[in-house]
């Protein structure tokens, strides 16, 4: 024998049927139409009833416009303060020479060198010639290696570098 008792089912909320997209569009269009008609009726009621139109400027707005017009022409309008004097322009700063990137410096070093070089050797040569110094990174040679590989991959035969063997790069003649 079962110990379960039959409890009455809980009443469920009525299901709302889903509306198709086209029906939803039609309902939205009808709502927009109703709102448009209501707005037009309100406007025509204002015009017929003699209420003040918000598009027509009031006496206060007309006076403000006159004050602005006088200020533009250089005349001092009623209650207006004198314009502030402008400050003297700051002198232009000296243009610093643009830093050479590691990739550009490596291209210069390889072009001057007759033998292909590794990234670590290029970094040492760039620092010795004063072309480029590391801004404090731990592995500038890895960054340079990756940049050279990216340039070769992106530019192909137009790249400034060519891969001589694994980890060794040479300069392309004429680049």
pLDDT at 4 over 60: yes
Q: Please indicate, yes or no, whether residues 107 and 166 belong to a single structural domain of this protein.
A: yes
CB-based contact 157:175 (threshold 8 Å): no
SS3 66: helix
Q: Does any domain span residue 92?
A: no
Q: Is the same domain home to 48 and 108?
A: no
In a domain, 5, yes or no: no
In a domain, 1, yes or no: no
Tell me if 15 is assigned to some domain: no
- Write phi, then psi, for 93 (nearest 5 degrees): -75, 155
At 145 the pLDDT is 96
> Is 113 found in the same domain as 65?
no
165 and 111, same domain (yes or no): yes
Same domain (yes/no): 158, 112: yes
Q: Do 107 and 72 share a structural domain?
A: no
How many CB atoms are located within 10 Å of the residue 154 CB?
9
Q: Is residue 168 classed as helix, strand or coil in its secondary structure?
A: strand
Long-range contacts of 95-102 (CB under 8 A, 24+ apart): 99/132, 100/131, 100/132, 101/132, 102/126, 102/132, 102/140, 102/143, 102/144, 102/147
Q: SS3 of 48, please?
A: helix
Q: Is 159 found in the same domain as 110? A: yes
pLDDT digits (tens, 9 = 90+) for 97-153: 778 899 999 999 999 999 999 999 999 999 999 999 998 999 999 999 999 999 999
- Express each pLDDT in 53-109 by its tens digit: 566 666 666 666 666 666 555 555 555 566 677 777 777 777 777 788 999 999 999
Given pLDDT bands bounded at 50, 70 and 90, which one contains residue 160? very high
The answer to the question of residue 166 being in a domain is: yes
Structural domains counted in the chain: 2
Pull the structure tokens for residue 112. 């001057």
Is 155 domain-assigned?
Answer: yes
Mark whether 109 and 166 lie in a shared domain.
yes
8 Å CB contact between 65 and 57: yes
* Same-domain status, 112 and 163: yes
Indicate if 107 and 167 belong to the same structural domain. yes
Q: In the chain, what's the furthest Cα-to-Cα distance? A: 104
User: Does the global pTM surpass 0.85?
Assistant: no
Q: Is residue 28 part of a domain?
A: yes
Q: Are residues 73 and 112 in the same domain?
A: no
The C-alpha atoms of residue 171 and residue 122 are separated, in whole angstroms, by 12
pLDDT at 72: 58
Q: Is residue 11 part of a domain?
A: no
Range of the domain at 65: 22-77
């Amino acid at each position: 024998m079962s110990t379960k008792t039959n409890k009455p089912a809980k009443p469920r909320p009525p299901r709302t049927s889903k509306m198709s997209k086209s029906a939803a569009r039609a309902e939205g269009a009808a709502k927009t139409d109703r709102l448009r008609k209501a707005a037009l009726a309100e406007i025509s009621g204002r015009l017929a009833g003699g209420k003040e139109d918000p598009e027509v400027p009031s006496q206060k707005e007309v006076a403000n416009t006159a004050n602005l017009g006088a200020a533009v022409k250089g005349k001092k309008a009623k209650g207006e303060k004198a314009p502030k004097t402008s400050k003297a322009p700051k002198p232009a700063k000296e243009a610093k020479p643009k830093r050479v990137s590691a990739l550009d410096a490596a291209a210069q070093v390889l072009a001057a060198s007759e033998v292909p070089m590794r990234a670590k050797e290029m970094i040492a040569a760039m620092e010795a010639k004063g072309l480029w110094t590391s801004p404090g990174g731990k592995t500038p040679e890895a960054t340079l290696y990756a940049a050279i590989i990216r340039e070769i991959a992106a530019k192909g035969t137009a790249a400034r570098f060519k891969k001589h063997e694994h980890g060794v790069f040479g300069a392309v003649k004429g680049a």
